[in-house]
């Protein structure tokens, strides 16, 4: 049975829905695993959304570990906004602190599920951690919002979602699994046309500032990506639980051999949705 360490900031409903989804898959036998502990980088009382997330974890009966990143060495973190080396040391100090807190739990795989911190190099080198990124392996870095605006800016016609091994390099660890989907043709055609008409009169920055996540093309891209995120996470965890994938010395091993490029699960994910 796969022991899972679950890392989340718990910042929105999606964080709760994702945990529920994986717990349901464990309970119905799809994933041969258990949640060994849940770590949240917000303490109770910091935000209503993360409090709701912690309530859910308590209802499931999972062990909870919390350590407020906001309140951890705040002066050092503030200085780190202007000094990358200071920020790097802050991350290491923070990770060492949380490592002590979950040291007593038995777990095989850490899943970053809406975890809004960059992990320091010591933690990601010591433990097998995986993360979702809302783009294809060669796609944009950053948050899902940043990814979508960059896709629009560059008139990209295909995107996707991937799971990757967490490394010190943001969103660029070895790819584990991925799927892709078109963002052109069909319902997208009129949305791209409308966007091009807007861009004749306004800059993309103005469109982003004025319409934000309500912009129709943006919303449609997000809808298709979000529909694939949960199935991809579930399928990836299942691959580890079934013994098809392992992480050894920072490398992805599939059936005894090093896997490069990751598994393409486009057909499986399309069937799942």
Q: Domain for residue 167, yes or no? A: no
Cα–Cα distance, 164 to 159 (Å, whole number)? 16
Q: Provide Rg for the chain, Cα atoms.
A: 19
Q: Are residues 3 and 65 in the same domain?
A: yes
Which region holds residue 82: left if phi is over 0, alpha if psi is between -120 and 50, else beta?
Answer: alpha
Q: Are residues 99 and 184 in the same domain?
A: no
Q: Domain for residue 208, yes or no? A: yes
Q: Are residues 78 and 118 in the same domain?
A: yes
Token pair, residue 245, equals: 């994938």
Q: Domain for residue 164, yes or no? A: no
Q: Domain for residue 165, yes or no? A: no
pTM over 0.75: yes
Summarised one tens digit per residue, pLDDT across range 133-189 is: 999 998 998 888 999 999 999 999 999 999 999 987 766 688 999 999 999 999 999
Cα–Cα distance, 90 to 69 (Å, whole number)? 10
Do 128 and 165 contact (CB within 8 A), yes or no? yes
Print the domain residue range for 257. 134-158+178-273
CATH number, domain of 46, equals 3.40.50.170
Least confident of 50-64, 195-209, 218-232, 250-264: 250-264
Q: Are residues 149 and 62 in the same domain?
A: no
Q: Are residues 123 and 145 in the same domain?
A: no
Q: Are residues 111 and 5 in the same domain?
A: yes
Mean pLDDT of 85-101: 92
Summarised one tens digit per residue, pLDDT across range 121-140 is: 888 888 999 999 999 998 99
Q: Domain for residue 51, yes or no? A: yes
Q: Domain for residue 173, yes or no? A: no
Identify the three-state secondary structure at position 39: strand
Q: Are residues 185 and 115 in the same domain?
A: no
Number of domains in the chain: 2
């Amino acid at each position: 049975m796969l022991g899972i360490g679950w890392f989340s900031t718990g910042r929105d409903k999606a964080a709760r829905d994702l945990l529920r989804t994986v717990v349901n898959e464990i309970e119905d036998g799809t994933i041969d695993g258990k949640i060994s502990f849940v770590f949240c980088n917000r303490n109770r009382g910091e935000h209503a959304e993360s409090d709701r997330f912690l309530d859910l974890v308590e209802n499931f009966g999972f062990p909870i570990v919390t350590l407020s990143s906001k309140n951890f060495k705040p002066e050092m973190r503030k200085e780190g906004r202007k000094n990358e080396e200071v920020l790097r040391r802050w991350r290491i100090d923070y990770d060492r602190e949380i490592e002590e807190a979950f040291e007593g739990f038995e777990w095989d795989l850490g899943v970053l599920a809406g975890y809004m911190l960059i992990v320091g190099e010591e933690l990601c080198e010591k433990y097998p951690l995986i993360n979702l990124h809302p783009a294809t392996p060669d796609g944009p870095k950053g948050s899902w919002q940043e990814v979508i605006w960059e896709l629009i800016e560059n008139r990209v016609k295909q995107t996707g979602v991937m799971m990757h091994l967490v490394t010190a390099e943001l969103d660029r660890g070895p790819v584990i699994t991925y799927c892709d989907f078109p963002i052109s043709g069909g319902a997208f055609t009129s949305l791209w046309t409308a966007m091009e008409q807007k861009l004749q009169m306004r800059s993309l920055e103005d469109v982003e500032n004025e319409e934000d996540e309500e912009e129709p093309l943006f919303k449609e891209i997000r809808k298709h990506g979000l529909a694939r995120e949960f199935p991809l996470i579930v399928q990836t965890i299942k691959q580890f639980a079934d013994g098809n994938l392992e992480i050894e010395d920072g490398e992805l091993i599939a059936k005894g051999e090093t896997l490069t490029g990751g598994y393409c699960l486009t057909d499986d994910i399309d069937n799942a949705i």
